[in-house]
Amino acid sequence: MKKLLKTALVLCFFLIAFSAGAVAPKAHAQIASGAIGNTILSWSLEENGDLTIRTNYEGQKGYIPDYPSNSTADFRQYKDQIKRVVWKRGVSVTSIGERAFEDCVNLESMEIPADVASVGAYAFRGCTSLASVTFSSEKYSDFAAATEISIGNRAFENCPALSTVYMQNTVTSVSSTAFTGSDNAKIHVPDYNGAAARAVSNATHFYVGSDTAWGIRYYGDVLNLRKYTGTAASASLPAYVTAIYSDTAFTGSALKALTVTDSLASVGAYQGFGYADGALRIYVPTPNGSAAKAVCNAYGNQLKVYFVIGTDMALQYNSSKDVVTLRAYTGSAENVVIPAYIDAIYEYAFSGNATGDGDPGRGTDGNPDTGFLQLRESEKRQHSCHGDEHRRRRL
């Protein structure tokens, strides 16, 4: 019995030792440490790439100073080894100075605490591995969070790996050059009408919340779609988007069907939908509402088609004459009822593909089609259209 008890105690000892070893965090050797300029802050760098910033005097605010170009002062002498920045509890940093982390080519991510009020010019320029930046709501001291945050000239310039930037509405000023050369960055703001949305619009487009599909930007008080980056074949334009003034908004996308609301009031001439890859169906709620007018009017004398939600009829609206024309029927039904809002029918609207080129609004030569027919009684009977359901107009 004593032998069994001794064996059990030995096994317990080894199990406890093994468990303690399994959960104990691995310690990383410190490479170097020192003061940050003449401030109250200090730094230390571990072999795993963690740069820890701490305060020497809790209860006081510190800052990371400006550095000259190619500086090797302080932690910058190890800039190629920095992968992450760790803020020690108790530290308060009011600003990140000019060129502070410039050319830290292995820096992978960056959290900017809530009490940082400014990010200086060139602060993260050339951080080629930087993938994410978060303007955090977290702070590491008892000081109040900053109420206004500014981002300086070229602060995140030439960061090609930068894919996500998360901002709070405390970001109120963004330099127009802040993200130059960081073309893959998606900047997320809390809402479309907050301070951050307005500030980012000075530099580039932004995404609302967790959305990754609709890149929008303010021009004055108009919210303009700059880029669709979704992967879905069908999508609905957010109701807060009121304009499309980009000729590359849908370039390269797989979008085939876009549903819009009548909040869409303007589409730039020869832009917006014109460069979507493949045939793009545009679904509007009403045949002569603001969205229909915006889609058609954007192309002047060229014809652009759209579909009323729930139909298989490609339409074109002439706002100067207040005429809705059926360009093509794309369904497969044998009997079709022409909606009462249609005033005229293109002469080849029911000949399968109206033009033979996949676009019911153009001829096979790429030019706008011109052959329209006034609705006649014979056509109304042929397409199950009844009597006075239509106004008859000559185009």
β-strands 149-151, 281-284 pairing: unpaired
**Looking at residues 46-73, what average pLDDT do you find?**
96
Calculate the alpha carbon distances from 270 to 32, 295, 383 in Å.
59, 10, 34
Ramachandran quadrant class, 209 (left: phi over 0; alpha: psi -120 to 50; beta: rest): left
Contact by Cβ (8 Å): 138, 114 = yes
* Percent of the chain scoring above 90 in pLDDT: 59
**Residue 320 confidence class, pLDDT cut points 50, 70, 90:** confident
Q: Delimit the domains of the chain by residue range.
A: 29-211
Q: How far is CA 216 from CA 26, 44, 219, 240, in A?
A: 45, 41, 10, 10
Check if the beta carbon of residue 309 is closer than 8 Å to that of residue 333: no
Is the predicted pLDDT of residue 19 greater than 80, yes or no? no
| The pLDDT of residue 376 | 41
pLDDT at 384 over 50: no
204-239 confidence digits (pLDDT tens):
999 999 999 999 999 999 999 999 999 999 999 999
Q: How confident is the model at residue 25 (pLDDT cuts 50, 70, 90)?
A: low
- Short-list 328, 332, 356, CA closest to 342: 328
Question: Could you tell me the pLDDT band of residue 303, with boundaries at 50, 70 and 90?
Answer: low
345 contacts 320 by C-beta, under 8 angstroms: no
Q: What CATH number does the domain located at 29-211 have? A: 3.80.10.10
**End-to-end alpha carbon distance in the chain:** 108
- 64 pLDDT higher than 50: yes
Question: What's CA 354's distance to the chain center, in Å?
Answer: 37
- In single-letter form, the type of residue at position 73 comes to A
One-letter identity of residue 101: F
Mean predicted lDDT score pLDDT of the chain? 83
- At residue 197, the 3 state secondary structure works out as helix
Q: What is the pLDDT of residues 324-358, one digit of tens each?
A: 889 889 888 888 889 999 999 988 888 864 433 44
Using CA atoms, how far residue 120 sits from 128, 195, 286, 365, in Å, is 18, 19, 49, 55
Q: Report the percentage of the chain scoring pLDDT > 70.
A: 78
pLDDT band of 2, cuts 50, 70, 90 = low
Q: What is the pTM of this model?
A: 0.81
Q: Check whether 196 has a pLDDT greater than 90.
A: yes
Cα 3 to the chain's mean position, in Å? 69
**Can you tell me whether residue 284 is helix, strand or coil?**
strand
